[in-house]
Amino acid sequence: MRAIPLKSFASLAALGLLVTGCGQGLLGGDGDDKAAKTDAPIVLGMLIPQSGSEAAIGPYMSNAAQLALDEINAKGGVLGRKLELKTADDACDAQSAAAAANKLVTEGVDISVGGYCSGATLPTLPIFGKADIPMIIPAANSQELVDQKLKHVFLINGTGSQQAAAAEKWIAKQGAKSVVLMHDNTSYSKDIALRTKALLDAPGGAEAVLVETVTPKESDYSANITNVLAKKPDSVYWTGYFQEGGLIARQLRQAGYKGSFMVGDGSVSPKLIEIAGAEAAEGIYATMTQTPDTLEGAEGWISAYKKKYNADPGPYSNQAYDAVRLAAEAVTKAGGTDGAKVIAALEAVDGFPMFSGPLKFTPEHTLMSGGFQVLVVKGDKFALQDSLK
């Protein structure tokens, strides 16, 4: 299998392969259970936000997952079986997510490849665990997920602690003296902010002078910004999502803030720039894993995505795509969808090529190298500022 398929097959060609790809069907009769089992598609489940505040992200992820699926199926699937994708809406909300996870379990999902909001993903871990379903989590990356120490959970996005380390590194590089951390009280955002603070609290270098919490979904953050400006910081780090991030960036600049403004990976979206307005957005830094824009050699993948969906891939498209490819790889290596075998196969993966680089898991089931880099807003997009290597 090639690292990054640079060609998307026309659907006609895919159909042709579909017809030839079912050689096993000739052997097993309909009543034969075993044959039915080996002919049944391998079902991948994907919990993503399709409604609620983060609804915009869902399609980026499910589209990319479907793209990977089509490419794999066009090549004859996995172990001669087709892959099938079932998505469910977690609404970025813990209760909805638990219900949706149960729904996927009853629908007979073999492997989970979803999870965007950490707060919503957390309660789904035991649900999939009980059902013996390995989880490859493409985006959710709160340290809380790792701290559960569950065998069946694998994170292929850099974690909160890796992101905090990258943020601290960049703050030090800029020579900032006083830093304000802003988060929105969600598990993901608070985690990064507090970890960054812990790193900054070490003697020497910059000092975290304030951790300011904002309420998500508001429009006016002037009260928070008054608090921030009272501390006269050189650098502000926002670890929440892009909707508020754009507003905060704009309102900070309007209030006369001249220092550096940095955001976390939940805010890396063209919408952030649009919401902040070109003037306020220019020069915003971001800690982020690799995105389609900053990847070298992803042009073919981007055009394949565009061709299929008539839209640009967005944040976490590449991780969702990789999650499906990794699931297929693990099932191939495990020789089936047995949970324990797939987990063992995932643990043994070494050097599987992904957008974020060759994959190897740590004993904690996180990426060996977090792969965080610093981007900067130039004009209407995020460009690479520093790879922090």
Per CB under 8 A, contacts with other proteins among 272-301 are 274-275, 277, 279
222 counts as binding other proteins under rule CB under 8 A: yes
203 counts as binding other proteins under rule CB under 8 A: no
CB-CB contact of 64 with 305 (8 Å) = yes
User: Taking the CA of residue 160 as centre, how many other CA atoms within 13 Å lie in the half-sphere pointing to its CB?
Assistant: 26
312 counts as binding other proteins under rule CB under 8 A: no
Among 243, 260, 291, 294, binds other proteins (CB under 8 A): 243
Per CB under 8 A, contacts with other proteins among 334-373 are none
Interface stretch with other proteins, choices 52-60, 81-89, 103-111, 124-132 (CB under 8 A): 52-60
CB-CB contact of 193 with 211 (8 Å) = yes
Nearer to other proteins, 89 or 144 (CB): 89
Interface stretch with other proteins, choices 1-9, 28-36, 121-129, 221-229 (CB under 8 A): 221-229
CB-CB contact of 231 with 209 (8 Å) = yes
Q: How many CB atoms lie within 10 A of CB 237?
A: 29
Report the candidate in 373, 375, 374, 346 with the shortest Cα–Cα distance to residue 361.
346
185 counts as binding other proteins under rule CB under 8 A: yes
Minimum CB distance to other proteins, residue 160 (Å) = 19
**Cα 65–Cα 318–Cα 385 angle in degrees, nearest 5:** 165
217 counts as binding other proteins under rule CB under 8 A: yes
Q: How far is CA 305 from CA 70, 112, 181, 321, in A?
A: 11, 22, 36, 10
Interface stretch with other proteins, choices 71-79, 270-278, 297-305, 316-324 (CB under 8 A): 270-278
Q: How far is CA 370 from CA 215, 322, 375, 383, in A?
A: 29, 15, 15, 19
Distance CA 9, CA 6 (A): 10
205 counts as binding other proteins under rule CB under 8 A: no
Interface stretch with other proteins, choices 6-14, 168-176, 214-222, 357-365 (CB under 8 A): 214-222
- Chain centroid offset of residue 319 CA: 5
148 counts as binding other proteins under rule CB under 8 A: no
Interface stretch with other proteins, choices 37-45, 67-75, 208-216, 375-383 (CB under 8 A): 208-216
Among 148, 215, 303, 387, binds other proteins (CB under 8 A): 215
Distance CA 158, CA 178 (A): 26
Please report the sign of the dihedral spanned by the C-alpha atoms of residue 229, residue 259, residue 184, residue 149: negative
Nearer to other proteins, 79 or 94 (CB): 94
CB-CB contact of 388 with 373 (8 Å) = yes
Among 2, 23, 149, 220, binds other proteins (CB under 8 A): 220
DSSP per-residue letters across 249-285: HHHHHHTT--SEEEE-GGG-SHHHHHHH-HHHHTT-E
387 counts as binding other proteins under rule CB under 8 A: no
Nearer to other proteins, 38 or 213 (CB): 213
What letter does residue 294 receive in the DSSP assignment? Answer: G
Nearer to other proteins, 162 or 224 (CB): 224
Minimum CB distance to other proteins, residue 254 (Å) = 6
250 counts as binding other proteins under rule CB under 8 A: yes
Nearer to other proteins, 246 or 339 (CB): 246
Numbers of helices and strands, H then E, in the chain: 16, 14
231 counts as binding other proteins under rule CB under 8 A: no
Interface positions with other proteins (CB under 8 A)? 51-53, 55-56, 58, 185, 212-215, 217-220, 222-224, 226-227, 243, 246-247, 250, 254-256, 271, 274-275, 277, 279
